[in-house]
């Protein structure tokens, strides 16, 4: 029988040097913005100003379900707002480049937006209200049920660790925090086993859109420990998957990723 507990994953840990982080963000115009690297704080004091939020995540650690009700789930551990903004336009795309992601850490990829109502450099993370603008979860089993099947994380890996997000076309001009996240489910069959890796970056949107983000969900209320998409056994024929978090924002639409068509979608 294929093992579904932590023993198997502890055995393969030496094969996994780290998890991953966003190294840069590229706009439709080709402008490139540097992501947060925890080593920056060690190399330069103070660290250079960025649009990306900083975090004390020195060991590529994750946010566990038991911490989903804390501020760490918002933009990762001890996150503080970036001083700058990525300049973009409603309807444009942002390409998020990760440095790496282990193949064993299968799970959904999600992206959210929250309005800052002013400069995001002064945003209070506990007060930000998030709407989901992009999500992809389980695609299919592909004959690899025991290895977890094919997931959004596999698409990211196939695309050289990149994920492309579309800024909603009718989004009103203003400053927003973009929250991008992978949730690893390789040991999510156990309580407190899911692993969330959220990261945030400030964006400044221009354009003639008039769609405001009203409402939204506080970061501490995005997920529950026992949500169907959080406490789940992916090692077998799951037949479908419910991506965690609120429904997609009505003003947004999923953007098809390169290589996504290689597999038939099993979730939305």
Cα 69 → chain centroid: 17
Return the DSSP state at 231.
S
Is 181 in a helix, a strand, or coil?
A: strand
What is the b/e burial string over 11-46, where b = at least 16 CB atoms within 10 angstroms of the residue's CB? eeeeeeeebbbbbebbbeeeeebebbbeebeeeeee
Q: Which CATH number fits domain 22-221: 2.30.30.280, 3.40.50.11610, 2.20.25.90, 2.70.50.70?
A: 2.70.50.70
pLDDT tops 50 at residue 108: yes
Q: What pLDDT is recorded for position 262?
A: 66
Q: What pLDDT is recorded for position 128?
A: 99
Q: What pLDDT is recorded for position 44?
A: 77
Residues in the chain, total: 268
Q: What pLDDT is recorded for position 132?
A: 99
Task: State the Cα–Cα distance between residues 79 and 73, nearest whole angstrom.
Answer: 10
Average pLDDT over residues 195-220: 97
Q: Cβ(225)–Cβ(68) under 8 Å?
A: yes
**Percent of the chain surpassing pLDDT 90:** 76
Return the DSSP state at 16.
-
* Residue-wise pLDDT tens digits, 82-104: 999 999 999 999 999 999 999 99
Average pLDDT over residues 49-63: 86
| Per-residue pLDDT band at 58 (split at 50, 70, 90) | low
Q: What pLDDT is recorded for position 100?
A: 95
pLDDT tops 80 at residue 261: no
Tell me which of 55 and 145 has the higher pLDDT.
55
Average pLDDT over residues 36-52: 86
Strands 32-34 and 195-206, sheet pairing:
unpaired
Break the chain into its structural domains and give their ranges. 22-221
10 Å CB burial of residue 247 (0-12, 13-18, 19+) is: exposed
Give all strands of the β-sheet with 86-89 in edge-to-edge order. 86-89, 195-206, 174-184, 109-115, 129-136, 217-218
Separation of first and last alpha carbons in the chain: 30
Cα 229 → chain centroid: 15
Query: pTM for the complete prediction?
Result: 0.90
Q: What pLDDT is recorded for position 264?
A: 54
Of 185, 246, 244, 172, nearest to 213 by C-alpha is 172
Most confident of 16-25, 90-99, 135-144, 249-258: 90-99
* Residue 1, number of CB atoms within 10 A of its CB: 4
**Lowest-pLDDT range, 22-26, 95-99, 138-142, 175-179?**
138-142
Average pLDDT over residues 247-262: 90
Give all strands of the β-sheet with 22-27 in edge-to-edge order. 32-34, 22-27, 93-98, 162-166
- Which residues lie closer than 8 Å to 226 by C-beta, 6 or more apart? none
Task: State the Cα–Cα distance between residues 189 and 6, nearest whole angstrom.
Answer: 10
* Residue-wise pLDDT tens digits, 136-170: 999 987 655 556 788 999 999 999 999 999 999 99
| Per-residue pLDDT band at 182 (split at 50, 70, 90) | very high
Q: What pLDDT is recorded for position 263?
A: 60
Q: What pLDDT is recorded for position 16?
A: 39
Beta strands in the chain (DSSP E): 22-27, 32-34, 86-89, 93-98, 109-115, 129-136, 138-140, 150-151, 162-166, 174-184, 195-206, 217-218
Q: What is the mean pLDDT of the chain?
A: 89
């Amino acid at each position: 029988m294929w093992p579904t507990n932590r023993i198997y994953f502890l055995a393969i840990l030496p094969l996994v040097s780290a998890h991953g982080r966003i190294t840069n963000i590229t706009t439709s115009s080709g402008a490139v913005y540097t992501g947060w690297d925890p080593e920056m704080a060690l190399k330069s004091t103070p660290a250079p100003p960025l649009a990306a939020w900083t975090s004390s995540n020195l060991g590529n650690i994750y946010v566990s379900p038991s911490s989903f009700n804390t501020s760490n789930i918002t933009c990762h551990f001890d996150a503080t707002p970036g001083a700058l903004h990525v300049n973009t336009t409603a309807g444009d795309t942002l390409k998020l480049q990760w440095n790496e992601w282990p193949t064993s850490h299968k799970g959904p990829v999600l992206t959210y937006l929250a309005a800052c109502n002013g400069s995001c450099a002064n945003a209070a993370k506990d007060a930000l209200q998030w709407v989901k603008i992009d999500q992809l979860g389980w695609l299919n089993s592909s004959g690899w049920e025991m290895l977890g099947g094919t997931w959004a994380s596999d698409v990211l890996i196939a695309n050289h660790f990149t994920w492309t997000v579309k800024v909603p076309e009718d989004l009103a001009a203003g400053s927003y925090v973009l929250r991008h996240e992978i949730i690893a489910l390789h040991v999510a069959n156990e309580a407190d086993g899911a692993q969330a890796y959220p990261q945030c970056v400030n964006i400044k949107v221009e354009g003639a859109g008039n769609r405001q983000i009203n409402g939204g969900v506080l970061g501490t209320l995005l997920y529950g420990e026992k949500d169907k998409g959080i406490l789940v056994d992916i090692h077998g024929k799951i037949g479908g998957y419910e991506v965690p978090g609120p429904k997609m924002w009505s003003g947004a639409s999923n953007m098809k990723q390169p290589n996504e068509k290689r597999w038939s979608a099993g979730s939305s």
